[in-house]
Amino acid sequence: MTILFLLLVFLVVITFTPIPTTSSRLTEVFHWRQVDFAFATDDDRRLAKARGQFIPENNLPVCVEKWHDRVFLAVPRYKKGVPATLTYVNLPNTNDKTTTSPLLNPYPNWDSNLREARNLTSVVKIQSDPCDRLWVLDSGEVEDKREKPPSIQVYDLRQHVQIGFFQLKEKTDYTEESIFSNMMVDVTSANCEDAYVYLADSGHNHMVVYNYRSNDSHIIHHNYLHFDPLFGDFTMGDVNFQWQTGIYGMSLSPLTRDNFRVMYFHPLASTMEFAVTTKVLQNRSLDFSRSNFDFKVMGSRGPGSQSAASSLDEETGVIFYSLLVRSGVGCWNTFRGEEYNEKSLGLVAEDNTTLNYPMDVRVDRNGILWVLSNKLPAFLYSSLKPDEVNIRIFKSLVRNAIKGTVCDEM
Ligand SMILES: *[C@@H]1O[C@H](CO)[C@@H](O)[C@H](O)[C@H]1NC(C)=O
Ligand SMILES: *[C@@H]1O[C@H](CO)[C@@H](O)[C@H](O)[C@H]1NC(C)=O
Ligand SMILES: *[C@@H]1O[C@H](CO)[C@@H](O)[C@H](O)[C@H]1NC(C)=O
Ligand SMILES: *[C@@H]1O[C@H](CO)[C@@H](O)[C@H](O)[C@H]1NC(C)=O
């Protein structure tokens, strides 16, 4: 330990490059006390407020997705008064170092976001792909009530039009207990039509697999998709609550030799990580009793390490994952061939003020890590203070984020 410390001091002195610390690895790009929207005119905003179509404190972005100079944000209709559920903001130009709080623009337009139009009901997750498409997971639920079946919608990011739409099938794909909160798109630029989407149903503890080419879905059962009753008790800030949230975090490895990927996944109310090949997930005629052993236990992150979103950087092989109770972001390098345990896991950032409920963690195609924190438990179970910053978006070059951690490249 001492030798390591001296070596670190030595390196710092020699090169004058400070090792990033857990508070310096992430750079804040946006923050909001409350989000506001790009209404056409101030009168429109006033009118929307007067009619209860816009209630500022009820709007909370839950996921972040960067595409070119845009950052897309999903604002689910958890509560009344969400004017647009699929939105984006433009990135400030690179010289601008100040954190900004831009207005949210509806995507693809106001009309599709209108509740009467019913194209976008309540978006909970978005992901862009190498074919310039935006995949949208719409829970179909408004204020906890089902208005429509959960759906997957696909938008052409160049033309801004909907090019795909699929509704999950009642009873098989979703039930009353279903809570759709996360998805993972699996596609390469060489095979845009051969896209698969893995959907996490964290209420029903199963996964729905959607195939874009056949425009059909099937489901995956496995005990490892279930929550762990020992890790469902959460205390964050002043709020204590019990969650039974199953499968949530999913990240995909680069293509393996057989042209499939490894999916690393974890239930939210759990500290375990698991893995399975997408060959198994994509198999419609899977025999679940025989495929049981295709699912692998990676290991435990240790107490207090419940995690929501995760994302893998294909260059370095590092998985980043949110740490909900610890208000941080952790990492694990899949390329190093080490066992998954507390020693091989790194800490990228930790801060119970700025990373209060790090709900989304996402690596974009340029090797940049994005993190969104939003105080979700306070939003759901008490209320957010309008005079405090409640929503933050950070970024970091992956290589900077892992520098000095056990996740760094060898
Ligand atoms: C809803 O989506 C369909 C395409 O599936 C499109 O034709 C229609 O214009 C959209 N409606 C709105 C209001 O955007
Ligand atoms: C895919 O299935 C949905 C039903 O969920 C249907 O509305 C849609 O038109 C189908 N798309 C294609 C391309 O067949
Ligand atoms: C943040 O952490 C500090 C030090 O561990 C603790 O004193 C404080 O109560 C925490 N604040 C919240 C909001 O959890
Ligand atoms: C799909 O699963 C079935 C039953 O487990 C197995 O017989 C079949 O070979 C699998 N198909 C592929 C393509 O792996």
Express each pLDDT in 366-408 by its tens digit. 999 999 999 999 999 989 999 999 999 999 999 999 999 999 9
What integer is the mean pLDDT of 92-121? Answer: 87
Dihedral, CA atoms, 375, 377, 381, 382, nearest 10 degrees?
Answer: -30
Mean pLDDT, all residues of the chain: 92
pLDDT-derived band of residue 14, with 50, 70 and 90 as boundaries?
Answer: very low
Whether the predicted pLDDT of 80 surpasses 50: yes
The burial of 351, by beta-carbon neighbours within 10 Å (0-12 exposed, 13-18 middle, 19 or more buried), is given as: middle
- Give the binding-site residues of ligand 3, using a 6 Å CB cut-off: 237, 352
pTM (2 d.p.): 0.92
pLDDT-derived band of residue 292, with 50, 70 and 90 as boundaries?
Answer: confident
Percent of the chain with pLDDT over 70: 94
- The confidence score (pLDDT) of residue 67 equals 97
Residues 410 and 408: their CA atoms lie apart, in Å, by 6
Ligand with minimal distance to 282 CA: 4
Close Cβ partners of 349 (under 8 Å, ≥ 6 residues apart):
22, 23, 25, 26, 328, 329, 355, 371, 394, 401
Give pLDDT tens digits for 198-253: 999 999 999 999 999 999 999 999 999 999 999 999 988 788 889 999 999 999 99
Specify the long-range contacts of residues 229-236, CB closer than 8 Å, at least 24 apart: 231/269, 231/270, 231/271, 231/306, 232/269, 234/306, 234/324, 234/325, 234/377, 235/325, 236/324, 236/325, 236/327, 236/356, 236/357, 236/377, 236/378
Distances (CA, A) of 123 to 74, 139, 141, 392: 6, 6, 9, 19
Nearest protein CA to atom 12 of ligand 3, as residue: 237
Give the position of tokens 């939210």: 268
Helix (H, G, I), strand (E, B) or coil at 103: coil
Mutate to test the pocket of ligand 2, among 137, 152, 163, 165 (most ligand atoms within 8 A of CB): 165
- The confidence score (pLDDT) of residue 4 equals 47
Closest among 194, 204, 66 to 126, alpha carbons compared:
66
Whether the predicted pLDDT of 317 surpasses 90: yes
Whether the predicted pLDDT of 275 surpasses 70: yes
Cα 369–Cα 373–Cα 182 angle in degrees, nearest 5: 75
Tell me, using a 6 A CB cutoff, whether residue 165 lines ligand 1.
Answer: yes
Whether the predicted pLDDT of 22 surpasses 70: no
Query: For residue 128, how far is its CA from the centre of ligand 4 (angstroms)?
Result: 30
Q: Which atom of ligand 4 is nearest to the CA of 290?
A: 5
Residues 199 and 210: their CA atoms lie apart, in Å, by 8
Query: For residue 162, how far is its CA from the centre of ligand 2 (angstroms)?
Result: 12
Q: Are strands 141-142 and 105-106 parallel, antiparallel or unpaired?
A: unpaired
Residue 285 identity: S
- The confidence score (pLDDT) of residue 293 equals 86
* Phi, psi dihedral angles at 126 (to 5 degrees): -135, 150
